[in-house]
Structure 1
Amino acid sequence: MKDAFGAPQSLLILGGTSEIGLATARRLIARRTRTVWLAGRPSPALAAAADSLRALGADVHTVPFDALDTDSHEERLGKIFTEGDIDLVLLAFGVLGDQVRDESDPLSAVRVAQTNYTGAVSAGLVCAQALQAQGHGSLVVLSSVAGERPRRANFIYGSSKAGLDAFAQGLGDAMHGTGVHVMVVRPGFVRTRMTAGLAEAPLATTPEAVATAIELGLRRRSETVWVPGALRVVMSALRHVPRPLFRRLPV
């Protein structure tokens, strides 16, 4: 259960090596979160992530999880909830893909879509149902501004995030009144390993800044969070740009 100050005491990160997920974990551990579950593919990186959080004083567990192995989600994620209540689930996994390659290799494009959308739908529903069964908790879904209006340069990734965003918004409506809070986070360009080597977009941000916004959104019980906040206005304008003009924009 959350403590008297409303801070989550237990956290499950789907995508246990996510830089945004780990930045959020560090911030919440400093605020009283004591139990952390890192769900991801077994690897030295996952083990190192767990050790780094243990060094901060948290009780950290790892669990095998693969977004593409949807047949295992109910069993593996369900077992976590049998160990005790989870106050916060952070759905933080995803892949960027390579637009040029993926356009000419449909199987690679499908892998992006299955990871970012199908896998997230499966894991999101499993966790939402478990949160509803325990009667409380928050599900935070990392979406992207790329899903607001997919661009020619990354429409495969953008369309997968558009699907995820729509799913999460609808799930939030479905969970309304059940005690489960669903929050969609829409970051812009985040400086992480995934974006290393790419040209930075305007209003680029960091995993730490996204983590700060997540914590604030949880305190406010927000349903949608933009990081940075100025992107709300920017994307509102871009949504209404006529298509012939949009195609010419350097975005």
Structure 2
Amino acid sequence: MTGQNVVILGATSAVAERYARLHAARGARLVLAGRDAKRLAAIAADLKARGAADAQVALVDLALPQDGFDAAWTAMSAKLEDRVDTVLVAYGILGDQKAAERDITEMTRQLTTNMTSACAWLTVAANYLERQGEGTLIAIASVAGDRGRQSNYVYGAAKGGLALFAQGMAHRFAGTKVKVLTVKPGFIDTPMTDGLAKGGPLWATPEKVAADIDTAATKGATTLYTPWFWMGIMMIIRNLPGAIFNRMKI
């Protein structure tokens, strides 16, 4: 994993930034994609100070790139002289469930951002890695996608769809040098979750999640629940009988 060329889509997210720092310490060259030019520039400077061989910025609306996904990807990979070792798809919005229930436009925006556009990036990047002959593709989904719940089923449906898509892609490349990792985090203490009550053993730090992703990717894993105990929690939730599950307010 030393000195890799890494593309991070959604580089201003807390987990993505911590993940980038791990690669920076190994002398990686990075492309940081997102919409916030000032924030991206600050992150790039910080990564260089932490040891990155290079950190360049790609200003792009990841949910709807102006010039299309293919053109945007070509521009990003060119910054790394057309060699990409790892791609992290880390952007998304938590969204407002109640607003999505009332407003079809809002529901569509959430689904497009969290699933449709992310699947498009996975496809463009996967085809690139396939032509290259190797590489690692990482998609951050969520435990929310394991079973639909009244509190966040629009977000959960998007992340569940993304997870299924990435898992199918991993199957597509089974036995090759292209690896696809689906990440299913639980609660993470980040700005994205500032509207939620935080605290307790179920909450993880961005540093913990980033380290788990790094380890799983190094091992060539295809699915990661992080922290680890979410695998057991979601197994229970997935298998609860409907009669019991439907009485729960979650």
| Structure 1 gap ranges (5+) | 1-5
Q: 1:29 aligns with which of 6, 24, 33?
A: 24
Q: Which moved more, 1:17-26 or 1:71-80?
A: 71-80
Q: Which residue is equivalent to 1:224?
A: 223
**Counterpart-to-counterpart distance in 2, 1:142 and 1:80:** 20
Q: Which residue is equivalent to 1:3?
A: none
Change (3 A) 1:243 1:149: same
**Counterpart-to-counterpart distance in 1, 2:95 and 2:27:** 33
| Structure 2 gap ranges (5+) | none
In the TM superposition, 1:128-207 aligns within 5 A as 128-200=126-198, 203-207=202-206
**Counterpart-to-counterpart distance in 2, 1:35 and 1:95:** 27
1:221-247 deviation digits (Å, cap 9, x = unpaired): 111111110111111111110123112
Change (3 A) 1:250 1:7: farther
Q: Which residue is equivalent to 2:92?
A: 94
Q: Which residue is equivalent to 2:43?
A: 49
CA contact (8 A) 1:8 1:87 kept: no
Q: Which residue is equivalent to 1:208?
A: 207
Q: Which residue is equivalent to 2:74?
A: 78
1:18-44 deviation digits (Å, cap 9, x = unpaired): 1111100112222x1420100111432
Identical counterparts, % of pairs: 38
1:189-242 deviation digits (Å, cap 9, x = unpaired): 111101013023861111101111011102211111111101111111111101
The AA in structure 1 aligned to 2:87 is V
CA contact (8 A) 1:77 1:127 kept: yes
Shift of 1:69: 1.6
Q: TM-score, normalised by structure 1?
A: 0.92
RMSD, matched Cα = 1.6
**Counterpart-to-counterpart distance in 2, 1:121 and 1:78:** 17
Q: Which residue is equivalent to 2:122?
A: 124
The number of aligned residues is 245
Q: Which moved more, 1:67-76 or 1:180-189?
A: 67-76
**Counterpart-to-counterpart distance in 2, 1:239 and 1:20:** 26
CA contact (8 A) 1:185 1:226 kept: yes
CA contact (8 A) 2:32 2:44 kept: yes
Shift of 1:8: 5.5
